[in-house]
Structure 1
Amino acid sequence: MTPLFTWLAIAGGGFVLGLLHFGGLWLSLRLLRQRTRPALWLLASSGLRIAVSLGGLWWLMAGAPLRLLAALGGFILARWLLSQRLGGLQPQDSRP
């Protein structure tokens, strides 16, 4: 592979990890009110998202700190794009 393609692939992998992480966070928060044990739901969701994200970043890094920076760039880009696309959670009306 050419060096440019390698760096783009690493950044793309970070982007996919970011989509999984922040998309999973968004989905978890959307489904939170439907859960009978919301604390357990958030704990399990956070643990799974963090484990997948850290494991994926570790694999993409392959021992080279500059590769980690490229992957984190894609990760942060995914966060920015999802926040632009999905927006925040709107507060729900708490009146009965």
Structure 2
Amino acid sequence: MFSLSLSLSIHPPSLPTAQNCSYTLQSPNGTIESPGYPYGYPNYANCTWVILAAEHNRIQLVFQGFALEEDFDLLSVYDGPPSPGNLRTRSEL
């Protein structure tokens, strides 16, 4: 069985981590939310979501609400393990 892995990460660069969170989604549908949603998440949260899909399936990300804190937050989307060659999009303020 082949699987496609996308990873989403929200974290501050080079700062101590107050909270780590890691999740894996394997179902056909799912929701990704920040820790503490709908309220703010802890400072220096470092969260990673891995989305797995069966061979020949596509993963579609739909953002219903999205905000980054200037100078602190980052969203990176990878197709496979997090490495420069697998980076698909990156958003920084």
Task: Name the TM-score class by shorter chain.
Answer: under 0.3
TM-score by length of 1: 0.26
Higher strand share: 2
- Tell me which structure has the larger Cα radius of gyration: 1
Higher helix share: 1
TM-score by length of 2: 0.26
